[in-house]
């Protein structure tokens, strides 16, 4: 049987949350463990162990997750270039951003943008009532099919009916 770990000190948890909140507020900044440990008031090694135990992932992975979440939002909601998004979310290298983005999401940043736009288009169509969609997709039948054929053939097809003459 594995022994469960004793609960963490509530004061330490508050300090860890303070560091996590700082990451959330400024994930575009560099957050080495030394800086986070300083915010929390503990040693680097103790901070890294306590953070992973409290939140389930190491601090660096949490930072990467936040940056990818923000990049995904910017790809979906803005027209910024992938390069601008990479630098705005704290990456120093476009290549590292693209590789990490693909590792985490399974898509390149450009593929994620295209998929998000396609999903948005689908979602917009799902909000439109079916009767409106059907009306918009209805073929243009403002004139009869035979009339269209006759126009396309240069009036060589004779009308199937005689024009109605008004009685004088």
**Positive or negative torsion for Cα 96, 101, 107, 111:** negative
- Can you give the pTM of this predicted structure? 0.66
The total of structural domains in the chain comes to 1
Residue 91 lies in a domain: yes
Residue 4 lies in a domain: no
Residues of the chain whose pLDDT is less than 50?
A: 1-2
* Residue 101's CATH number: 1.10.10.60
Residue 105 lies in a domain: yes
Range of the domain at 56: 10-123
Note the pLDDT tens digit of each residue in 12-54.
999 999 999 999 999 999 999 999 999 999 999 999 999 999 9
What tokens appear for 84 in the block? 């601008």
Residue 97 lies in a domain: yes
Residue 149 lies in a domain: no
- The residue written with tokens 């009685």 in the block is 167
Residue 74 lies in a domain: yes
């Amino acid at each position: 049987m594995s022994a469960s770990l004793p609960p963490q000190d509530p004061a330490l948890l508050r300090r860890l949350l303070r560091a996590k909140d700082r990451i959330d507020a400024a994930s575009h900044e560099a957050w080495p463990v030394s800086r986070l440990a300083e915010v929390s008031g503990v040693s680097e090694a103790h901070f890294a162990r306590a953070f992973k135990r409290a939140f389930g992932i190491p601090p660096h992975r949490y930072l990467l997750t936040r940056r990818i979440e923000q990049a995904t939002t910017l790809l979906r909601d803005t027209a910024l270039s992938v390069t601008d998004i990479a630098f705005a979310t704290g990456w120093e290298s476009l290549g590292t951003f693209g590789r990490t983005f693909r590792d985490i999401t399974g898509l390149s940043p450009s593929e994620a943008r295209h998929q998000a736009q396609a999903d948005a288009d689908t979602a917009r169509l799902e909000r439109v009532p079916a009767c409106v969609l059907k009306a918009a997709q209805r073929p243009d039948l403002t004139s009869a099919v035979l009339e269209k054929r006759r126009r396309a053939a240069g009036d060589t097809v004779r009308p199937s009916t005689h024009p109605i003459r008004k009685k004088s």
